[in-house]
Structure 1
Amino acid sequence: MDYEEVVTTRRSLHEYSDEDVSEETLEEIFEQATYAPSSFNLQPWEFLVVRDDDDLATLAEVANGQEHIEEASATVVVLGDTNPARHAEPVFQDWLDKGYIPDEETKGYLVDTVEGMADLPEDERRVWTNRSTALAAQQFMTAAWNQGVATLPMEGFDADALVDEFDIDAAYEPVMLVAVGYPAEDADELQAERKYRRPVDEVVHYDTFDPVEQTTIADGESGDASAPADD
């Protein structure tokens, strides 16, 4: 697909075929996902791919019984590292080797700066890692659809239970779950008309910020506010 087709036809899919997504295909998708931008290029993301049936059942249980988790070929637990300094040394050594920074002193300053971020309050570090990790998750979903693989990003899970059940280090923040699989041949989302999208002239502001008035169902400007915002 070309870029425009990928971004305009990607859907959050709830219905999957029985065909498994191969590890080779997943590796190609993850390779492209890792090109996402991140703060200081620190790439604080990690991905836990859950494929075993029993593990998928466990994951569904901690995710409020969301059945798509077990119906997909795999579900990816997207994790954000709340320790900004974990990969600082190789990242800034690469900057030095490639001439992005002039000398070891500058590298040392950058490493010290990031190590100082590790002392920030937990909430601030969680926000930091969520921002960068969400970029990688979106890139993963776009890269997947370019391979004909559908995805479904999900919230609605017990993060503490997930960490306990899958023995995840406490430094990692579960950011979202992403179901992964080939679409069912008659998947409703692929047949249905595209859901409402707010127009560009309503969401883009030049130089000054002047948001539009909140729309309601009565205005005829938006869909059901109770519907899942997952398209």
Structure 2
Amino acid sequence: MNAKSGHLPLPALPEIDVEEFRKVVRSRRSVRRFTDEPIPDAVLADCLELATLAPNSSNLQPWEFYVVRTPELRARLAEACLGQNAATTAPVLIAIVARPDTWRKHARLALEDWPKDEKLPSIVEKYYKKIAPIHYNQGPCGLLGVAKKTAGLALGLARPVPRGPYSVNEMKVWATKSTALAAENLILALRAHGFDSCPMEGFDECRVRRLLKLPRKGLVTMVLAAGRRAENGVYNRQYRFDRKNLIRYL
């Protein structure tokens, strides 16, 4: 135990081979056709675990993963994904769902699941018990959000202040940002295991929600098709815009 900080010492950082990571990133493609080879249970479980290690706002982990492998349900979900080749050929479909409504429950879990061999810092306890319930709560009809925005505008004239989320819609954006980070972890984990994926935005969300019996406030960020890349699975050569148009050094 560190006498000054009160925290347990962190484990030594592992050696990282950046070239292996580069291979994962550069070989990742949105694959449109898959073989019928299944993804082993252990591999899929490891990829999903790595997905949940993604950085996220206040460690509130506002996401859920609905893994569809049964042929009948998968076929119906593929139909809701407009019959795309990626959806109809993948052995696994995963609905990645943002949850802007679970922050209260997860704030409690953040305290309950704190490592038992480490003392809970008072600042962490204060954040989840007092600050988070104000910061993320929008109140009846969004009135608390309006009040917070008004106060933020006034206080922001004198000093930097957090700007939002101030509404139900901003909470949806908040949850979706963290969920997209988890999705990227999942995509790269699949590639690292030798499998591929295709994140799909082309789907009928109403049908997907009914089919998977999703919670009312859950937002389908994407449906991810996953499996072994077929020989004709990649349609075109990958290219990106000139970085000069996208990156600014200040």
Deviation, structure 1 residue 99: 5.0
Distance in 2 separating the partners of 1:165 and 1:106: 37
Judging changes above 3 Å, is the alpha-carbon distance between structure 1 residues 103 and 10 closer, same or farther for their aligned structure 2 residues? closer
Judging changes above 3 Å, is the alpha-carbon distance between structure 1 residues 168 and 107 closer, same or farther for their aligned structure 2 residues? closer
Residue 11 of structure 2: aligned partner? none
Which 4+ residue blocks in structure 1 deviate beyond 6 angstroms? none
Q: Is the 8 A contact 1:154 1:178 kept in 2?
A: yes
TM-score (norm 1): 0.79
Q: Which moved more, 1:97-106 or 1:22-31?
A: 97-106
Would you say 1:82 and 2:100 are equivalent positions? yes
Residue 21 of structure 1: aligned partner? 39
For structure 2, list consecutive stretches of 5 or more residues without a partner in the other structure: 1-18, 146-166
Judging changes above 3 Å, is the alpha-carbon distance between structure 1 residues 159 and 100 closer, same or farther for their aligned structure 2 residues? farther
Letter in 2 for 1:205: R
Q: Is the 8 A contact 1:92 1:111 kept in 2?
A: no
TM-score (norm 2): 0.74
Question: Which structure would you say has the larger Rg?
Answer: 2
Among 48, 51, 65, the residue aligned to 1:47: 65
Q: Is the 8 A contact 1:10 1:142 kept in 2?
A: yes
In the TM superposition, 1:56-71 aligns within 5 A as 56-71=74-89
Residue 5 of structure 2: aligned partner? none
Residue 189 of structure 1: aligned partner? 234
- CA deviation vs aligned residue, 1:97-123 (integer Å, no higher than 9, x gap): 555544744442234235525755432
For structure 1, list consecutive stretches of 5 or more residues without a partner in the other structure: 208-231
In the TM superposition, 1:131-146 aligns within 5 A as 131-146=177-192
Judging changes above 3 Å, is the alpha-carbon distance between structure 1 residues 204 and 181 closer, same or farther for their aligned structure 2 residues? same
Distance in 1 separating the partners of 2:47 and 2:124: 35
SS at match of 1:152: strand
Would you say 1:198 and 2:241 are equivalent positions? yes
Give percent identity, aligned residues only: 29
